[in-house]
Amino acid sequence: MGKTLVSYQTLYGSTKEAASLISEVLENDYNLEVDLHRFEEKKEHPDPSKYENIIIGSCIFHGKWGNNAETFLKEDFQGKKIAIFICAGFAGEKKLYKQAYKTFLKEVVDKYPHIKPISMKAFGGRVPKSKLPHIWFLRASKKLPSFRSDNRNLEDVKNWAVELGKKFTTNG
Ligand SMILES: Cc1cc2nc3c(=O)[nH]c(=O)nc-3n(C[C@H](O)[C@H](O)[C@H](O)COP(=O)(O)O)c2cc1C
């Protein structure tokens, strides 16, 4: 079995937390060899040709992916199993989930038609206390009064990792 890459971009850490949990499950429960990679300014992208399975995750700010994570989507992933996730405040609220999945995940990945992900998932996120009240959060609370500054769900992340582990370790 070839190696697995879990790559992610984060600002406040929730996407890192999800990426770390995913890699733990893949290593511990599926015996996969995993490299974790954080996208950062001026740091080179990992080389996709080294991996059999590639997971790409991004935080969402003002409706956008992290620049470096999105640039990575342009790479050649032919013959790889690709899975994509985002962490976004809207995705953690039931009422906003569908819209978040469509605008932050489906529409972004559709811009890169060479990518055929085996799975895509939108997770909730967390606006750190030090950033509250932030104008973005105040706007979100107007849209949905019950909007939570922390709507992460690590159980969801774990379940997705298990699903991926199965897909990565079986043919097809
Ligand atoms: C300034 C700001 C802008 C944000 N914009 C959005 C947004 O457009 N849509 C959304 O769903 N969440 C938005 N969020 C919430 C973030 O997606 C959430 O905090 C996420 O967990 C951040 O990921 P990170 O912890 O990996 O950096 C925003 C948060 C802040 C502080």
HSE value, Cβ hemisphere, 13 Å, CA-based, for 25? 21
Q: Would you state the pLDDT for residue 112?
A: 98
Q: What pLDDT was estimated at residue 172?
A: 59
pLDDT reported for residue 1: 77
- Identify the pLDDT of residue 78: 96
Residue 41 is predicted with a pLDDT of 73
Q: Ligand 1 pocket test: which of 98, 136, 142, 151 has the largest number of ligand atoms within 8 Å of its C-beta?
A: 136
**What pLDDT, on the 0 to 100 scale, is given for residue 23?**
98
Closest residue by CA, ligand 1 atom 9: 63
Residue 172 and residue 169: Cα distance in Å, rounded? 9
CA distance 100 to 86: 10
Pocket-testing residue among 16, 127, 153, ligand 1, by greatest number of atoms within 8 A of Cβ: 127
- Ligand 1 is surrounded, with C-beta below 6 A, by 10-15, 59-63, 87-90, 100, 125-127, 131, 134, 136
Per-residue model confidence (pLDDT) at position 116? 96
* Interatomic CA distance for residues 19 and 85, integer angstroms: 9
Domains of the chain: 3-168 (3.40.50.360)
How confident is the prediction along the chain (172 residues), in pLDDT tens digits per residue? 799 999 999 999 999 999 999 999 999 999 999 999 999 877 789 999 999 999 999 999 999 999 999 999 999 999 999 999 999 999 999 999 999 999 999 999 999 999 999 999 999 999 999 999 899 999 999 999 999 999 999 999 999 999 999 999 997 5
